[in-house]
Amino acid sequence: MIILTVDKAKDWMKEIQKRMFDHKDQLTELDQAIGDGDHGINMARGFHEVVAKVNHTSYDSAADVLKSAAMTLMAKVGGASGPLYGTAFLKMSLAMQGKEVDQKVFKQAINDAVEGLQARGKADFGEKTMYDVWKQVANFLQEEDVQDWHGILEVCQATIEDTREMAATKGRASYLKERSKGHVDPGSMSSFYIFEALAEVIDL
């Protein structure tokens, strides 16, 4: 069964944009605590640009929508998160290229996104970054016969909470070392909104 079409890929971007807009202040506050306080702005503006782009372009495949999103994020988001999310969407796009996106292709796409994030950001699991959430989602998809989004979103939320007691060793938060403890990672939170938006749009 095809789970991601051109229209659904566009809707995914719109649902992400809505969430980044609605939670802009929350993401900014999280980044104020352990970073430079721009994550909400980066995400709201970045996905606003993505939606403006995909709304005015016609695409032959879901892969092409994601590629367009990736390029826009890389070009328009100044912070670390722009190139990182850009890489994640680009790797997903490459995994989907020329294929009908069924659950198997989709799982591979998530795996490739996770590898891309690691290659780009050099973060390992447990370093208090968005990588933690993506890695746990990939693990969950690998291990479980997934029927719906419930378990995936629970894994995301548990992982966000796990980042709270970690000391950051990558990104700006790593400047604070032990003092980064006690705050959840902003990029983990925005990654949750990306998966929550996906759950809104596609049936597994």
Does 195 bind ligand ADP (CB under 6 A)? Our answer is no
Please tell me the count of residues contacting Mg ion according to CB under 5 A. Answer: 6
Among 11, 15, 38, 64, binds Mg ion (CB under 5 A): 38
Q: How far is the CB of 43 from Mg ion (least distance, A)?
A: 10
**Which x/- pattern over 32-51 shows residues binding ligand ADP (rule: CB under 6 A)?**
---xx-xx--x---------
**Rounded distance between C-alpha atoms, residue 169 and residue 94, angstroms:** 30
Give the position of tokens 């590629």.
67
Among 11, 31, 64, 112, binds Mg ion (CB under 5 A): 31
**Which x/- pattern over 71-100 shows residues binding ligand ADP (rule: CB under 6 A)?**
--------xxx--x----------------
Does 161 bind ligand ADP (CB under 6 A)? Our answer is no
Does 203 bind Mg ion (CB under 5 A)? Our answer is no
Residues near Mg ion (CB under 5 A):
31, 35-36, 38-39, 79
Residues near ligand ADP (CB under 6 A):
31, 35-36, 38-39, 42, 79-81, 84, 121-123, 129-131, 170-172, 185-188
